[in-house]
Amino acid sequence: GAGVSQSPRYKVTKRGQDVALRCDPISGHVSLYWYRQALGQGPEFLTYFNYEAQQDKSGLPNDRFSAERPEGSISTLTIQRTEQRDSAMYRCASSHPDLSYNEQFFGPGTRLTVL
Amino acid sequence: QKEVEQNSGPLSVPEGAIASLNCTYSDRGSQSFFWYRQYSGKSPELIMFIYSNGDKEDGRFTAQLNKASQYVSLLIRDSQPSDSATYLCAVNAGYSTLTFGKGTMLLVSP
């Protein structure tokens, strides 16, 4: 596609429910990143993939958070047993190996609200 | 702990003036530096990146990098009301993730 797409754009869930957030990167971009952005803050790194391999998951807050990218394209970020503190904007970005300095392009984000 | 510091602002400038946005970073191993613009309620948009000391110009935007001082800046010439946004500084220590500052809000008044 022309840009990074994310779905759903908005998600409201009740505490304790599981949610799955989807990211479809720019066509041909092999690196995919997940960030979380709180209001008034910059994006905070969660995890990233090169192709289907998860290269770094050091930013995932705890073991309720997981991510996968099984075919090296679309990625899913899953949050189990959601808590109110998980409410935030979840952003996905992608980059291409031909971009020498790892320029990352962001999708529109998914606004998660946990009630 | 890698840190990227920005003044949260708001930085207010009149239309036509030069806006100067500053950023410092803690990791001396940082290799590339990015400026993103984020309009309220929108996603970050890449506007500039720089990787060597000195200045890099692109239209009305100039990025400046001083690795010895661990300092990056963004100058916006002939500021327009449409430049009003939050500007995020991001730093990359290798071919991996970005560490972002909290952003500086810029307000350009007509």
A91/B102 Cβ within 8 A: no
Could you say which residues from 38 to 77 on chain A have a Cβ atom under 8 Å away from some Cβ of chain B?
40-45, 48, 55-56, 59
In this predicted model, what pLDDT tens digit does every residue of B4-35 receive, in sequence order? Answer: 999 988 999 999 999 999 999 998 888 899 99
* Chain A contact present for B63, CB below 8 A: no
In this predicted model, what pLDDT tens digit does every residue of B36-89 receive, in sequence order? Answer: 999 999 999 999 999 999 999 999 999 999 999 999 999 999 999 999 999 999
B103/A42 Cβ within 8 A: yes
- Is residue B94's pLDDT more than 80? no
Q: Which residue has the higher pLDDT, B98 or A97?
A: B98
How many angstroms away from the CA of B98 is the closest CA of chain A? 7
CA distances from A95 to A3, B16, B28, B61 (A): 11, 34, 24, 23
Quick count: other Cβ atoms within 10 Å of Cβ A7? 15
How many angstroms away from the CA of B99 is the closest CA of chain A? 7
- pLDDT at residue number A98: 76
- pLDDT at residue number A99: 73
Backbone angles phi, psi at A14, to 5 degrees: -95, 150
In this predicted model, what pLDDT tens digit does every residue of A27-73 receive, in sequence order? Answer: 989 999 999 999 999 999 999 999 999 999 999 999 999 999 999 99
Q: Which residue has the higher pLDDT, B95 or A87?
A: A87
A104/B100 Cβ within 8 A: no
